C-alpha cells in the first residue's frame, strides 16, 4: 500500500473538444474566444481549467473549496479566510479555540463570528496547516493569501504542486459569425420608462480540439500535504468536469476525449510538454468530432524509451476517438495502466 502523502512526479496530457461554443471568452475583447492570432489556434487559460476542477470537486465530491463564493457572494481572499475561520470554529472539535474570543458571549452565529474575526483581525486562530488540511484546492493548486493587517503585515503563500500551461487547439479555428443579442433583464435604462437592455455579441467557434499539458511536482506536494487520494480526485475531476461544469448556453458543447497522467517513480524526472509528441492529420476546416485522426505514436515511443522510470499511467479515453498508437501503449505498458474510476 502506498504511503498517504504524494511524493512522486506526474505529467498530464489532457484533450477535450468544443463544438459551437466559447471555450474561454476574453473580457477585454468583447468576450471573443481567446486565440493566438498568429497561428489561428484557440487558447484556454489554466485558470479556466482549474475553475472547472474546483466546481466539480465541490458540487459532486462534497469537497470544501477555498477559492469559492461565501453564501453565494463573490468575496476577496481576506473575507474568504475570515469565513473559513468562522466555519471551523463552529465545528464541535474546534470549540476550544472559540473560547479564546472573550468578547463573544454564548453561541455566536456564523455572521457574528465572521464580522468579529474581520474586525478584530483574529487570523492566528487557525494555522496554515488547518487551511491546507481543510481545502483540497489549496493542496492541489496552492494559495497566496494576503492578510489585510497593518500590524501583522504578512501573508500565507504555498506554491501549488499541480500546474498547467495554457491550453491550445491542435487545429486552426474559425469564428462563427456573431449575431447581436439583447438582454432585457440587465443593462442600461432607456428613457423614462426604464426599458431596454444590454446589447452584445454571441461569439463562438465552430470546433476546437484543446490540448493541455500539466505536471505535479512531488517536491511541492510535500509542502502542501497533497495525498495520493487527492491526485485520484484530480484525475476524476479533470475527466468529468468538462461536461458537468459546462452546462451554460455559451459553454455547452464540450466533451473529454483523452487523458493521460504519467506517474514517475521519483521526484527528479520529467519529459516535458507531451503535446510535442501528438498531432492530428487534419488541422483546418474542422466542424465536428471524428473528422480527423489523432496520432500519439511518437509519444508512445518516447514513453517506451523511459519505461523503467514509469510507475503507472492513468488513462481516460473516449472509445470513439480515432486514435493511432493507443494499442501500442497498452501492449508496451501492460500491468501499469489504470483507468480513471
Cα dihedral 293, 294, 296, 297 in deg (nearest 10): 20
pLDDT at residue 151 tops 50: no
Mean pLDDT of 57-73: 90
Query: Rounded mean pLDDT of the chain?
Result: 90
Q: Which residues pair with 163 in a beta bridge?
A: 215
pLDDT for the residue 192? 45
Direct distance between the N- and C-terminal alpha carbons of the chain, in angstroms, rounded to an integer: 18
Q: CB of 14 within 8 A of CB of 249?
A: no
pLDDT at residue 242 tops 90: yes
Distance CA 253, CA 43 (A): 16
pLDDT at residue 183 tops 70: no
Strands 25-26 and 10-21: unpaired
Q: CB of 315 within 8 A of CB of 337?
A: yes
- Kindly give, in sequence order, each residue whose CB lies less than 8 Å from that of residue 264, ignoring residues fewer than 6 positions away: 8, 9, 10, 11, 270, 309, 310, 311
Q: 75-109: b or e for each residue (b if 16 or more CB lie within 10 Å)?
A: eebbbbbbbbbbbbbeeeeeeebbeebeebeeebe
pLDDT for the residue 3? 53
pLDDT at residue 200 tops 80: no
Q: CB of 256 within 8 A of CB of 13?
A: no
Give the rounded percent of residues in the chain with a pLDDT score beyond 70.
90
pLDDT at residue 25 tops 60: yes
C-alpha cell of residue 105: 458571549
3-state percent helix, strand, coil for the chain, nearest multiple of 5: 30, 30, 40
pLDDT for the residue 251? 93
> Which range among 26-35, 177-186, 301-310 shows the weakest confidence by mean pLDDT?
177-186
Convert the pLDDT of each residue in 297-307 to its tens digit. 999 999 999 99
What is the helix (H) or strand (E) element at residue 106, kind and residue range? none
Q: How far is CA 9 from CA 12, 13, 56, 164, 311, in A?
A: 10, 14, 24, 14, 10
Convert the pLDDT of each residue in 114-141 to its tens digit. 999 888 888 888 888 999 999 999 999 9
Phi, psi of 46 (to 5 degrees): -65, -30
Supply the angle between the helices 77-89 and 110-120 in degrees, to the nearest 10: 130
Q: CB of 197 within 8 A of CB of 185?
A: yes
Q: Where are the domains of the chain?
A: 10-62+162-339, 77-159
pLDDT for the residue 190? 47
pLDDT at residue 148 tops 90: no
C-alpha cell of residue 275: 503535446
pLDDT at residue 182 tops 80: no
> pLDDT-derived band of residue 201, with 50, 70 and 90 as boundaries?
confident
C-alpha cell of residue 297: 505514436
pLDDT at residue 185 tops 60: no
Mean pLDDT of 290-298: 97
Amino acid at each position: 500500500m502506498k504511503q498517504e502523502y504524494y511524493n512522486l512526479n506526474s505529467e498530464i496530457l489532457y484533450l477535450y473538444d468544443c463544438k459551437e461554443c466559447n471555450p474561454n471568452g476574453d473580457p477585454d475583447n468583447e468576450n471573443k474566444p481567446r486565440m493566438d492570432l498568429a497561428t489561428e489556434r484557440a487558447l484556454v487559460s489554466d485558470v479556466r481549467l482549474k475553475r472547472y476542477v474546483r466546481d466539480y470537486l465541490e458540487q459532486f465530491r462534497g469537497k470544501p473549496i477555498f477559492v469559492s463564493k461565501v453564501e453565494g457572494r463573490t468575496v476577496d481572499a481576506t473575507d474568504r479566510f475570515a469565513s473559513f475561520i468562522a466555519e471551523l470554529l463552529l465545528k464541535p472539535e474546534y470549540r476550544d479555540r472559540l473560547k479564546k474570543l472573550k468578547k463573544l458571549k454564548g453561541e455566536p452565529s456564523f455572521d457574528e463570528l465572521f464580522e468579529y474575526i474581520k474586525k478584530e483581525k483574529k487570523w492566528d486562530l487557525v494555522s496554515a496547516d488547518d487551511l491546507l488540511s481543510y481545502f483540497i484546492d489549496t493542496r492541489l493548486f496552492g494559495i497566496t493569501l494576503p492578510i489585510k493587517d497593518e500590524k501583522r503585515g504578512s501573508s500565507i503563500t504555498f506554491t501549488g504542486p499541480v500546474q498547467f500551461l495554457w491550453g491550445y487547439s491542435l487545429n486552426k479555428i474559425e469564428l462563427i459569425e456573431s449575431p447581436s443579442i439583447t438582454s432585457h433583464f440587465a443593462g442600461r435604462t432607456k428613457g423614462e420608462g426604464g426599458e431596454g437592455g444590454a446589447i452584445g455579441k454571441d461569439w463562438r467557434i465552430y470546433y476546437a480540439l484543446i490540448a493541455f499539458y500539466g505536471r505535479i511536482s512531488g517536491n511541492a506536494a510535500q509542502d502542501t500535504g497533497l495525498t495520493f487520494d487527492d491526485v485520484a480526485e484530480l484525475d476524476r475531476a479533470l475527466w468529468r468536469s468538462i461536461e458537468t461544469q459546462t452546462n451554460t448556453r455559451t459553454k455547452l458543447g464540450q466533451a473529454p476525449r483523452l487523458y493521460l497522467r504519467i506517474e514517475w517513480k521519483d521526484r527528479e524526472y520529467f519529459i516535458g510538454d507531451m503535446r510535442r509528441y501528438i498531432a492530428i492529420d487534419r488541422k483546418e476546416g474542422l466542424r465536428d468530432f471524428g473528422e480527423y485522426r489523432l496520432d500519439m505514436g511518437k509519444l508512445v515511443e518516447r514513453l517506451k524509451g523511459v519505461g523503467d522510470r514509469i510507475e503507472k499511467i492513468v488513462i481516460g479515453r473516449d472509445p470513439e476517438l480515432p486514435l493511432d498508437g493507443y494499442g501500442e501503449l497498452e501492449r508496451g505498458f501492460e500491468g501499469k495502466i489504470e483507468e480513471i474510476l
